[in-house]
Chain A
Amino acid sequence: MEFQVPAINLALLSPVLIVMVTGALIMLLEFFIPETRKGWYTWLSLVGIVLAFAQTATMWGSEAGTFTPVGGQPMVLLDNYATFLNLIFLITGALTILLAISYLRRTGLDRAEFYMLLLFSLSGMMLMGMANDLILVFLALEILSIPLYIMAGLAWPRGESEESAMKYFLLGAFSSGIFVFGIALTYGATGSTALPQVLTGIANGGALGLAGAAFLLVGLGFKVAAAPFHMWTPDVYEGAPTIVTAFMSVGAKVGGFAAMLRIFLAALPEIGDTWVTAVAVLSALTLIIGNVVAITQSNIKRMLAYSSIAHAGYIMIAVAASANSERGLSAALFYMFAYLFTTLGAFAIVMAREHQLGEGLQLNDYKGLARRHPLLALVMAYFMLSLTGVPPTGGFSGKFYLFRAAIEASSAGPDLLWLVLIGVVTSVISGYYYLRLVYLMYMTDGDGTLVEERHPAVVTAVAVTVAFTLLLGFMPGTWFDVTRQAVLWGGRLLAGG
């Protein structure tokens, strides 16, 4: 059989390519840039991200596919959904780099690899949202994950960091295996890995198709840290350098959801009710485990790890709602957008408090922070309120939107009101541990010193996160509309490719 080259339009991939090339460039330049000029990596990667961002922004509104095999469906899709997610990822990348500059220097991790790996991982995340074929989803997943495994171990020879990397790698590889198995089963049931063809075949796929879908869900469940596949999260988050934790708590999670939502909506609506029930049950479990276990944590990074598990649960409410409500998908996007700023902001404060790797990370280290660093404490308190979901914060708007989507979806499909009630109850529970930090900062006396964290890059990054959390709290309307355009434009995603 003669091999026919599929139609390729590299322009669609240009943002991903820019990020990848920048990463490769850094790898090469490492040999030429002297030790004393490490700042160049930072600027180079920032330039790359800004270029990619500008390029992505011009693509808003376009809808096209590429890598189309003859007679087949495009493997890469660029629609507003992918574009919006790319913007989320690029913002995450840029903020991470801004926060990284002084952190890496302080902790002695300032190496070119960090930037290089971050950019490669970023390109994988971007592909997650664009993939229209299970094989490409898998590729993207690996491009996303492998750099993160290494980044988690960047602080070697510190034991916790190595443990973190090892644990993340083993469980990550395991979950990848499950995901591949899911692809194989799906292929067996439908005869294709292209999402649009899976869509048409899955109804006749019987038990094989259901099993395939289940394995896909489990594989991605690991990535987004949904219970009961969350076991790795606290250890990995705690052990990894905090900047890496911040990056993966947003990037890897959003990446996992990007693929989960696309697969679900583009390929599996035929078994929608089963799928919704499965996601809803996982979501409930995630909400309860994440929020309840977070109460007992005394290490801030572990607490934020459980909090990130809990937030995966909230996003999954929106995922479950997306089957039967147009708003479900945009609620998920909006929530992730708000989550990005709040979480990165909170991690920025954690980094400001951290003296050396692993020191100053106990909740008790935050005692009396408000007296000595009122602004820092104020910002942290605001992020905690946003994570709790108290208005006027981005976190509140996000919850408001996804509860609305879930209530709407209940009238058209499986009942999700019970899930919403669990979401409400766990929000109250979450108030307990988020506010405990506030109480330690404001209502107790403590000593302890703080690294002077006045680097202009950090200040900029924190200012951006605060500004957006405020903006999404007070003026969410514009972004409600943007996320809606991101999923409804041309109807491609919801129409199933």
Chain B
Amino acid sequence: MLTILTFFPVVGALIILALKLFKKETDLLIKQLAVGFSVATFLLSLLVLAQFDMAVSGLQMVNRAAWIPSWGISYLMGVDGLSILMVLLTTFISMLAIASSWTAITTQVKSYYVFMLLLEAGMLGVFLAQDLFLFYIFWEFTLIPMYFLIGIWGGKNRIYASIKFFLYTMAGSLLMLLAILYMGITNGTFALPDLIAGREAFAAAQNWLFIGFAIAFAIKVPLFPFHSWLPDAHTEAPTAGSIILAGVLLKMGTYGFMRFNLPLFPEASYQFAPTIAVLAIIGIIYGAIVSFAQKDVKKLVAYSSISHLGFVMLGIFALNEAGLQGAILQGVNHGLSTGALFFLVGVIYEQRHTRMMADFGGLWKVMPVFAVTSLIVTLSSMGLPGLNGFVGEFTILLGSMGSTALGTRPWIYTAFATTGVILAAVYLLWMYQNVFMGPLDKEENKKLRDMNGGELAIMLSFLLFIFWIGIAPSAYFLLMDSTVAKLVAHVMAAATVAMP
């Protein structure tokens, strides 16, 4: 089931590539196929959700086959509470991203959709692989389509951005590869469940191993001070690329921390928790302040990601149930809100070919629907109660407040993080005010058309979940409850044995 889900987009990509053989290749057909396959993949992931048993804390729907038996490498896929939401987020965001490219992409249409589908498959693989070797292959593989998406269809500075993105991530991943190899040698297996069970064998080196993994993931998240690739990549990527980058790719980093760092190196995680929490808070505040200084809307949204992901990291390293649950949910929230913001920026950019705040103003008058939906998404990103962002941030702050991993005065972390919420309101409202309020004084802006049916449909899909999570989040928490509880118990048990 999980294998079918992961490789289903690849089938789509192959069919698109094969069209040429049957002399049926037209841009329209390619688009239809790509959208069709991404929708079908989303439906498949709903099927996985239907089969998912919330009461089970371990892996479910496991596929296992020997791959390189002499090395202890296996093809091992499974899903649990940590990944089920990420899988759904991936298929959902990919579907919307692919659909949103309908009019935006006019050159090399075939390659574009092939890369999008391959990227989707790679991301699903990252969230489902439970063997470190397999995980690493998917992890690195996602780089390739993203590199092309930024480099071919990106903005003015795309070459620089794409190569920076590639090299940054690759540098981090190779350190992770060394850590993976080390554990593979000491334990003779690369399967995650076996490694967790046998972690005694590499416990002595766990600080270094933790760092190896942490750097790879921290670059992806990005955690301050590893963030400098992100503004370039986000700004230069095509709209759909930005949506996927913010929506899913960054979550691969936070997911990696939860999936690998915490269970494999619990003592090291406990020990490094305050350090990472401090970096997370620096990220929250730094990202917010830099966002405020931006003149380019897309750049502003990009920097705001650094700030938002800081919350997620803080939640993870609170190392308690509330923190982790909040972190997972906030990952989803950020994917929805920021994905939607990038989409909105794309809509306006397609008409005006500028993203500078100074070029806009008073858009409310010509594009009322666009303005209303933008307002909701902005408020969601700010964390207004009743919308999704609030639930995640609140849970994380709650978690950090009661965290035992963050020393005797965890409320200090909470206090600093809370300033991030205030700052978010400052820069987001500032942006909203500049773009939508005030007089409509630019001649070009008077002829702008409002959203069309297709754009509205995509936007409503985003809004559906923004409201749903905001009003009734309990269903989402239930999905991850048992897995998170088990993970926290595992980490804290190991940490208290090590540090009485």
Query: Interface on A for B, CB 8 Å cutoff?
Result: 370-371, 374, 385, 388, 390-392, 396, 400, 403-404, 407-408, 420-421, 424-425, 427-428, 431-432, 435-436, 439, 442-443, 476-477, 480-481, 484
Contacts and interface: CB of A to CB of B under 8 A. Distances in A.
A258 B99 CA distance: 55
Given A424-B175, A424-B177, A480-B71, 11 more contacts: A370-B111, A385-B144, A400-B181, A403-B178, A427-B170, A428-B167, A431-B166, A435-B147, A439-B159, A443-B151, A477-B71
Nearest to A388: B170
B185 A392 contact: no
Given A408-B185, A477-B67, A484-B70, A443 B136 contact: no
B158 interface: yes
Given A404-B184, A432-B167, A477-B69, A439 B162 contact: yes
Main secondary structure of the interface of A (DSSP, over half): helix
Contacts of A442: 148, 151-152
A407 B182 contact: yes
A431 B178 contact: no
B166 A392 contact: no
A396 B166 CA distance: 16
Contacts of A385: 144
Interface of B: 67-71, 73, 108, 111, 136-137, 140-141, 143-144, 147-148, 151-152, 158-159, 162-163, 166-167, 170-171, 174-175, 177-178, 181-182, 184-185
Main secondary structure of the interface of B (DSSP, over half): helix
Given A432-B167, A476-B68, A480-B70, A439 B151 contact: yes
A371 B175 CA distance: 36
A428 B143 CA distance: 13
Given A424-B174, A477-B70, A443 B152 contact: yes
Nearest to A478: B68
A428 B69 contact: no
A209 to B, nearest CB: 33
B151 A424 contact: no
9 contacts: A370-B111, A390-B143, A390-B170, A407-B181, A424-B178, A428-B167, A431-B170, A439-B159, A443-B159
A391 B144 CA distance: 10
B67 A403 contact: no
B136 A391 contact: yes
Contacts of B152: 442-443
A477 B68 contact: yes
Contacts of A407: 178, 181-182, 185
Contacts of B143: 390
Q: Which 4 A-B pairs have the closest CB atoms?
A: A477-B68, A391-B137, A424-B174, A428-B171
A435 B174 contact: no
A404 B185 contact: yes
Contacts of A436: 163
A190 to B, nearest CB: 36
A425 B185 CA distance: 22
Contacts of B175: 424
* Residue with the highest number of chain B CB atoms closer than 10 Å, among A392, A443, A480: A443
